[in-house]
């Protein structure tokens, strides 16, 4: 039972929950009241059912890829983050894990950030085409979707530009009829 428990734990901590459950069942046939085997078997089953897998319980390679995805996203490298996340998901699929709630949540947020960056680029293009009001509205939309402070800062700079332009126009055209 001890040897099987060691193997079950190794698979559990490697994120191989389906395999771990089978071995925990063997352990519990021999030692029905082993608390750690009961607890980890139930957790492994819950992880597979609900997809709520804590980062500490991810297979090491998946945890590394997920950590890289989070780091890349923090510095605004969203495409790289998406690639790392796909790597993590692939590793989990190979381990038999098909549902991963934290990964899905992160993927949804990441997709929203990628979309916000696309909207931001459109706003910059509009500004460069002298469509200042449209640019402000578009960059504000990017900020509302992402909450990224630099998007708000850019919209504020565009507003300052518009105000300065209006002041200059007012001075230049104040003497004409």
pLDDT digits (tens, 9 = 90+) for 28-57: 999 999 999 999 999 988 887 777 777 767
What share of the chain in percent tops pLDDT 70?
98
pLDDT digits (tens, 9 = 90+) for 54-72: 776 778 899 899 999 999 9
CA angle, 70 then 72 then 75, to 5°: 110
Dist CA 59 CA 63 (whole Å): 6
**Residue 87 neighbours by CB distance under 10 Å:** 17
- Confidence (pTM): 0.67
Identify the pLDDT of residue 176: 58
Write the burial class of residue 158 (CB in 10 Å: 0-12 exposed, 13-18 middle, 19+ buried): buried
């Amino acid at each position: 039972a001890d040897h099987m428990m060691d193997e079950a734990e190794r698979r559990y901590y490697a994120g191989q929950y389906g395999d771990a459950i089978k071995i925990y069942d063997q352990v519990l046939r021999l030692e029905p009241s082993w608390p750690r085997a009961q607890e980890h078997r139930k957790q492994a089953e819950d992880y597979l059912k609900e997809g709520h897998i804590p980062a500490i319980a991810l297979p090491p390679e998946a945890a590394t890829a997920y950590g890289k995805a989070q780091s890349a996203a923090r510095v605004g490298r969203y495409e790289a983050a998406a690639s790392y996340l796909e790597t993590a998901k692939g590793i989990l699929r190979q381990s038999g894990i098909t549902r991963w709630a934290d990964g899905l949540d992160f993927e949804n947020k990441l997709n929203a950030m990628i979309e916000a960056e696309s909207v931001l680029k459109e706003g910059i293009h509009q500004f460069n085409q002298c469509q200042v009001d449209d640019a402000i509205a578009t960059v504000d939309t990017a900020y509302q979707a992402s909450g990224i402070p630099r998007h708000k800062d850019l919209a504020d700079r565009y507003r300052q530009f518009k105000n300065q332009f209006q002041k200059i126009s007012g001075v230049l055209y104040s003497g004409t009829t």
